[in-house]
Amino acid sequence: MKSINHNQSHHNDRFTTIVNDYREPIYWFVRRRVVSHHDADDVVQEVFIRAYRSLDTLKDPDAIRPWLYRIAVNEIARFMAQRYRNEAELTADLTDKLTQGEYVDYENTMAVTFQRALLTLSEKQRTVFELRYYNELPYEEISEICHTSVNTLKTTYHVARQKVTDYIINNA
């Protein structure tokens, strides 16, 4: 009985450390994807519930960051699939939320234009762009998160960056 309590305590301590270290970056990654603070909180809660339940499957302590982001990507996809019928509906709703909420400072027109540019990207492009641009993850970690080769990710990032640049030039 004592070893079970000790193992459970270690599990809880490890999980608490993970939440403390990653809650904020995971929140902002999710928030940029779903826009709404309320929706982001719901998705982040699911991310950490799933992480807690599967923490014992994580063998490599150095793999925590890509493991958590992979869970977040999957939870975002699940949320989007439940909420939206197609990409057009998703883009329209997120654009609407972007213009209604407190997500960006509307005095900063470049920030608004940049956020709108991101919404023109496909889900895969947004995921790769945001993991690389905002979270500054190396391509090798993004490869683990997205289950995609590094070369494909580099191409995806380049195309996404070009689309964002073009959008900003044409809408500034």
In the numeric block, the tokens 């080769």 are attached to 149
DSSP state of 172: -
Q: In the prediction, which pLDDT does 84 show?
A: 74
Q: How many Cβ atoms sit within 10 Å of the Cβ of residue 99?
A: 14
Would you list the DSSP string of 23-39? HHHHHHHHHHHH--HHH
- For 121, residues 6+ apart whose C-beta sits below 8 A from its C-beta are 129, 160, 163, 164
Give residue 11's pLDDT: 74
Domains of the chain: 1-103 (1.10.1740.10), 107-172 (1.10.10.10)
User: In the prediction, which pLDDT does 1 show?
Assistant: 45
Q: Residue 115: what pLDDT?
A: 83
Q: How many angstroms from the chain centroid is the CA of residue 93?
A: 18
Provide the whole-model pTM: 0.81
Structural tokens at position 65: 């960051």
User: Cβ distance 94 to 51 under 8 Å?
Assistant: no
At residue 56, the pLDDT reads: 85
| Tens digit of pLDDT at every position of the chain (172 positions) | 444 465 677 778 889 999 999 999 999 999 988 888 889 999 999 999 999 999 888 888 788 999 999 999 999 999 988 887 777 676 777 777 666 655 555 556 777 788 889 988 988 999 999 999 999 999 999 999 999 999 999 999 999 999 999 999 998 7
pLDDT of residue 80: 86
Q: What is the DSSP letter of 134?
A: T
CA trace torsion 72, 78, 84, 85 (10° rounding): 140
